[in-house]
């Protein structure tokens, strides 16, 4: 399951994109997004994001939105 970045939370710092081993994270306007076809789900971006805004499966996604 590829990671996703929660747009509302992302501050656009780009830290995650420097951590990604397969360069799956790209800049989209002011935030960053993950290319689902490239992501190998290593979660490196998740552990490094200062805003904790990268998430895994749909369940996790929902949890964060409602929080």
Among 5, 34, 46, 49, binds another protein (CB under 8 A): 46
Q: Cβ distance 43 to 1 under 8 Å?
A: no
How far apart, in whole angstroms, are the C-alpha atoms of residue 25 and residue 5? 9
According to the binding rule CB under 8 A, does residue 35 interact with another protein? no
Who's near 14: CB < 8 A, 6+ residues apart?
27, 32
| Cβ closest to another protein, residue 11 vs residue 65 | 11
Site residues (CB under 6 A) for ligand SF4?
A: 3, 5, 10-16, 19-20, 22, 24-25, 32, 34, 39-45, 49, 51, 53-54
Binding region for another protein (CB under 8 A):
13-15, 17-22, 38-44, 46-48, 50
């Amino acid at each position: 399951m590829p990671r996703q970045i929660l747009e509302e939370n992302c501050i656009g710092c780009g830290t995650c994109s420097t951590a990604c081993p397969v360069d799956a994270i790209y800049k989209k306007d002011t935030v960053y997004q993950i290319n689902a076809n490239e992501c190998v789900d290593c979660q490196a971006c998740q552990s490094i994001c200062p805003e904790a805004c990268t998430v895994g499966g749909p369940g996790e996604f929902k949890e964060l939105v409602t929080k």
